[in-house]
Amino acid sequence: MFGRIAMPDEWHKTFDKDSMIQTLDDFFAEGGFSIGALNEQSDIWYEKNKINQAFFFCADATTKDYRIYSNVNPDTYGLKVLLHELGHLIHFKYVSNETPYLLKEPSNIITEAVAAYFDSKIYYSSSLRSMIGISSEPSLPYYDDFINPARLYRLRNLSRNIMFEKSVFENPEQDFTRLWWNLTQKYMLYNAKPKNRLP
């Protein structure tokens, strides 16, 4: 949901899988980074029965065998997801071999910052947008003052979560499902259909 609402409608594009991988390879190569054989070593493309999550993991730090699991289609949203996960991969991959083994794994806070830096490039990098053939400037006036709506989304999401936890402690006997979806409508501006309001 987050990635799909956090970019202009005209930026939603579909690619073929090979060209999307090549775009990612070219983009990271501009910074002197190699993403390796991403298609061969990772399980990234959409399949009906896969979990709808994305994550990076280290199979073998000694041989720098890093992989990504995701369930994305070859489109702009999928590109943004892979930019984030490849940010993790790059951060881990380029840790010096001379770093002591127990210090090789970057801290969670820093590695998330690096990943967020790379996924934000879809908003800030004219080079990347040129590679995927989307307009340099979104047509909606909203983006003139707030080019990355992902930040606003995160703030609203955090506010919803804080108010949920606060309300749970204030009234532990209430209906938590109703509370969650009421707060979701208030802060996320998303009114889920009753059948989709999972507990």
Domain with residue 30: its CATH number is 3.40.390
- Please say whether the dihedral angle defined by the alpha carbons of residues 191, 7, 111 and 75, taken in this order, is positive or negative: positive
Q: Cα angle vertex 117, ends 113, 120, to 5°?
A: 135
Output the pLDDT for position 96: 86
* Residue type at position 198: L
Q: Does 129 share its domain with 174?
A: no
| Residue 36 is assigned to a structural domain of this protein | yes
Rounded Cα gap, residues 80 and 86, in angstroms: 10
Q: Quote the CA–CA distance of 185 and 172 in Å, as a whole number.
A: 21
Six-digit token pair at 195?
Answer: 């059948």
What pLDDT, on a 0 to 100 scale, did the predictor assign at position 195? Answer: 74
Together in a domain, 155 and 103: no
Residue 187 and residue 123 share a domain: no
Residues 26 and 123 in one domain: yes
Q: Angle 55-191-172 (CA atoms, 0-180°, nearest 5)?
A: 80
Q: Does 122 share its domain with 155?
A: no
pLDDT tens string for the chain (199 positions)?
444 445 666 678 899 999 999 999 999 999 999 988 776 789 999 998 898 889 998 888 778 888 999 999 999 989 999 999 999 999 988 888 888 888 888 888 888 889 988 988 887 788 898 898 887 665 555 455 555 666 677 778 889 999 999 999 999 999 999 999 999 888 877 787 777 777 7
- Position 71 in a domain: yes
**123/72 same-domain check:** yes
**pTM for the whole thing?**
0.72
Range(s) of the domain holding residue 186: 149-196
Q: What is the pLDDT of residue 142?
A: 46
